[in-house]
Structure 1
Amino acid sequence: MSPDARSVYRWAVLAIIAGCIAVSYLVITHRAARPGPTATAGPRPAFQLPFPCGEVWTLTTYPGHDDFDIDFFAASGATAGRSVLASAAGTVTWAGWSATLEDGRPAAPGASGTRGGLGYGVIIDHGGGWFTEYGHLAAAPGVRTGETVKGGQGLGVVGHTGSTTIDHLHYEQLNDTLDPKRTRGNGDKVEAVFDGVPSGITSDDRSPDQTRTSRNCAPPGA
């Protein structure tokens, strides 16, 4: 083989090796950039209706609402001013106005599935990836960010603050292990279950109204 041929051959081999290294780097980088597998949620807490024991409420939704979001209206009597209770024990991750913290700082991105529209509201972390969200309270919540709450503990009263003019409670149950980024946004919402029974609210334009009686009867912390 002539010197020129050997030189061409060496350059060709080096080019092949360099190409293989580049491809390997791109593959490794791509794999590292992909989200890892989601975590597994813990057992779903024994969520109860977020209202005092024995009260009867209508669960409804409307076209344009996110799937699984529930609007609660009292089945009889006035809805405004009714007590809103924690569906289960947990830690308050946000309590304030339209997804802002008490000191005025905005809540973490994705911390509220309806950022800017909840008015006065509360989000509770129940552990194991489970969260509940309560919106449109009539006034500032009776709990604070970071506070530990008991199941059945009062959070506030029903109102129409935020992006609504009708008194009702906006409510969500979320499983944030469904999203690798843990945003607790729309992708983490799931069908709410109360006292072990699915809510029946699964689609914003196809779910018929439901009527349920609250079994949130044990004293807070019992």
Structure 2
Amino acid sequence: MSGREVYRLTMIGVIAACVLVSYLVIKQRLGDDDPPKPGPRPAFQLPFPCGETWRLTTYPGHDDYDIDFFYAAGPSAGREVVASADGTVEWAGWNGTLADGSAAQPGTVGTRGGLGFGVILSHGGGWFTTYGHMNTWPAVKTGDAVKRGQLLGRVGRTGSTQVDHLHYEQHDDTRDPKHTRGVEDKVESVFDGVASGITSDGSASTGPLRVAGPVSPDQRRTSRNC
């Protein structure tokens, strides 16, 4: 092989390498066209100790898929709230706003917005669970590793409510390109492999379904978080 042919093949290789690098850089900057896919849904259980029966409810304007839990055998206040699945504490603390938009003092009841004392758990694969309106500071802190059934706090009425209950959500974060764990990535909760039955809040002004129609009827579930 002559020197000219060696030079020619070398230059072809250099050009090909440059084209490949340019393609990879452009692809990285533009992002992958394929949306991210969630990991396997964790084996979520009811967020209460084994054997307890709870009533699952929603109401117009609550956001589709949001669940309010009320203890079926007596008062809800002070009852244990436990992790639905193994995970890591994404956030634990206080969140509440007053009518003028300012931050409410921790422990305030009946705020304009906010979970009150609450916890958000990350379960991997884009899955999150949210627990709100606890009676005082959570029993866990941000960054903690938790096991299914571990105590997170107790039912209360802090934040945007005046009634003792647990506010609960399941999220598939891969549904939201901005990964805000907001309305768009809420999904129907599943407990012990069975869909909760709480889907529509009956309001077209709230998401993610945004359909007018009947509110999902109340459900009853017994915890197998054992």
- Normalised TM-score (structure 1): 0.75
Match of 1:198?
195
2:100 is aligned with 1:132: no
Pair 35,73 (structure 1): closer, same or farther in 2 beyond 3 Å: farther
- Please tell me whether the aligned partners of residues 37 and 180 of structure 1 are also in contact (alpha carbons under 8 angstroms): no
Cα deviation, residue 181, structure 1: 1.2
CA distance 1:162–1:137, change in 2 (3 Å): same
Percent of residue pairs identical? 69
Cα distance, 1:70 vs. partner?
Answer: 0.1
Report the CA distance between 1:116 and its aligned residue: 4.3
Distance in structure 1 (CA, Å) of the matches to 2:90 and 2:33? 25
Alignment map for 1:101-116 (pairs within 5 Å): 116=113
C-alpha offsets along residues 94-113 of structure 1, whole Å, 9 cap, x if unaligned? 0000179xxxxx9xxxxxxx
In structure 2, what is the Cα distance between the partners aligned to 1:64 and 1:33?
Answer: 37
Name the structure 2 match of 1:209: 218
**Structure number, greater radius of gyration:** 1
Name the residue aligned to 1:26: none
Q: Verify: 1:173 aligned to 2:170, yes or no.
A: yes
Partners in 2 of 1:37 and 1:180 — Cα distance?
A: 11
**RMSD (CA atoms):** 2.1
**Following the alignment from structure 2 to structure 1, what is the Cα–Cα distance between the partners of residues 198 and 33?**
30
Q: Which runs of 5 or more residues in structure 2 are unaligned?
A: 1-25, 98-102, 104-111, 203-214
Q: For residues 193 and 127 of structure 1, what CA distance do their matches in structure 2 show?
A: 16
User: Is the contact made by 1:35 and 1:180 (CA closer than 8 Å) also made in structure 2?
Assistant: no
Unaligned runs of 5+ in 1: 1-28, 101-105, 107-114, 218-222
Matched, 1:75 2:72: yes
Q: How many residues align?
A: 174
